[in-house]
Chain A
Amino acid sequence: MSKDVQRPASLPAADGERLMRCMSMVMHHEEVQALVEVVERLLIEQLAAADQSEGELS
């Protein structure tokens, strides 16, 4: 029934925390596992892209 969200090693801690805050509060049913994984993947990509553009600016 539930899914533990793991912080990907490639993400900085603050982003990882944001990801987990987003995705781990609720129980995920097996039936929507694929859906959750897609949203998680896109969120990770967005966070990484934001970090990269911040890094380029600084």
Chain B
Amino acid sequence: MTTWDNVVTQQVDLPSAPAVVHQLTALMAQEEVGSSEIARIVETDQAFTARTLKLVNSPFYGFTRQITSVDEAVAMLGTGTLQQLLLATSVVSSLGTDSSALPMDDFWMHCFSVGVIAKHLLENQSTETQNEAFMCGVLHDIGRLLFVKMDADRYARFYDGGSSVIDLAKETQWFGANHQEMGQVLAQKWNFPASFATAIAYHHNPEDAPQSPKLVAAIHIADISCHALHLGRSGNEYVSSFSPPAWKNLALTSQTFEARLRRSLVEIGETESMIRNIR
């Protein structure tokens, strides 16, 4: 067990993944997933069913008619997209806090924006990879939520104390582990795919990632772009440096990057309504 595993398990009562998350992650590991299997999982939980329908009927998807059943939602969105969204929904509802130390609307706005930009940065990749990028973006900062759960006052003092630029070493000093390590432990405990844990664990130092280099690079570039463009807020006031190896890894021209970022901004404008519906 690593040092930060110990820190996390000793200091934080890590929330258990809801049963539905376990079932969905198990399904995601399979190659072929049937729409009826997903619908069956969702329908076992009434609150989850209601949230799913609210989400699918939000202006984000812009369906002209009301979707009234989970089966219909699966048919309209496709199994992959719905699977990822359901996972995001369950994580948001399980890990959200009411603490003023980390206002949730701003926080999820940041995370979802990172997801949208990361997805567009990889839009020449498979749909599966793009879905994965979206989900990793949504989840990349879950370690911060654990800091708040651990000690919200301490978290507030940490950011009030002028820690406006990301400083992983200082986080370790204050909390015993940095938010990447915290998030990684949670991702592993909740049996997320290995690529998710890697993206969470290396989004500030993508050049060190042992696997999924393109995915981690996309999360890194998307995260910093969101900070720069004030898309939501996750704690830091100032913008960190882009990693040159990550930029190189994406192999994009500045024209392509700009076009994808512009498309992302349009989609992010619509995402706000989804975030209000997902909580």
Report which A residues bind B (CB closer than 8 A). Answer: 21-23, 25-29, 31-32, 34-43, 46
Residues of chain A within 8 A (CB-CB) of B225 are 39
Cβ-based interface call for B261 (8 A): yes
CB A14 to nearest CB in B, in angstroms, measures 13
CB B217 to nearest CB in A, in angstroms, measures 12
| 6 A-B pairs closest in CB distance | A34-B254, A31-B244, A25-B238, A32-B242, A26-B241, A38-B258
The answer on a CB contact under 8 Å between A21 and B261 is no
Do most interface residues of chain A lie in helix, strand or loop, or is the interface mixed?
A: helix
CB A8 to nearest CB in B, in angstroms, measures 15
The answer on a CB contact under 8 Å between A25 and B254 is no
Docked CA distance A34–B221 (Å): 13
Against A, the Cβ 8 Å flags (1 = close, 0 = not) of B44-64 are: 000000000000000000000
The answer on a CB contact under 8 Å between B240 and A26 is yes
CB B115 to nearest CB in A, in angstroms, measures 18
Question: How many residues in B have their beta carbons less than 8 Å from beta carbons of A?
Answer: 25
The answer on a CB contact under 8 Å between A31 and B247 is yes
Docked CA distance A32–B220 (Å): 13
The answer on a CB contact under 8 Å between B165 and A38 is no
Find B254's partner among A23, A27, A35, A46 (CB 8 Å cutoff): A35
Docked CA distance A21–B238 (Å): 7
Cβ-based interface call for B265 (8 A): yes
Cβ-based interface call for B228 (8 A): yes
Residues of chain A within 8 A (CB-CB) of B241 are 26-29, 32
Find B258's partner among A22, A32, A42 (CB 8 Å cutoff): A42
Closest to B252 in A: A35
The answer on a CB contact under 8 Å between B229 and A38 is no
11 contacts between A and B (CB under 8 A): A21-B237, A21-B238, A22-B239, A32-B247, A34-B257, A35-B242, A37-B254, A42-B261, A42-B265, A43-B229, A43-B230
User: Contacts A22-B228, A29-B244, A46-B229 given: A35-B239 contact, CB under 8 Å?
Assistant: no
Docked CA distance A48–B80 (Å): 38
Residues of chain B within 8 A (CB-CB) of A29 are 241-242, 244
The answer on a CB contact under 8 Å between A26 and B254 is no
Residues of chain B within 8 A (CB-CB) of A37 are 254
Closest to B250 in A: A35
Residues of chain A within 8 A (CB-CB) of B221 are 35
The answer on a CB contact under 8 Å between B228 and A39 is yes
Find A26's partner among B165, B229, B237, B253 (CB 8 Å cutoff): B165
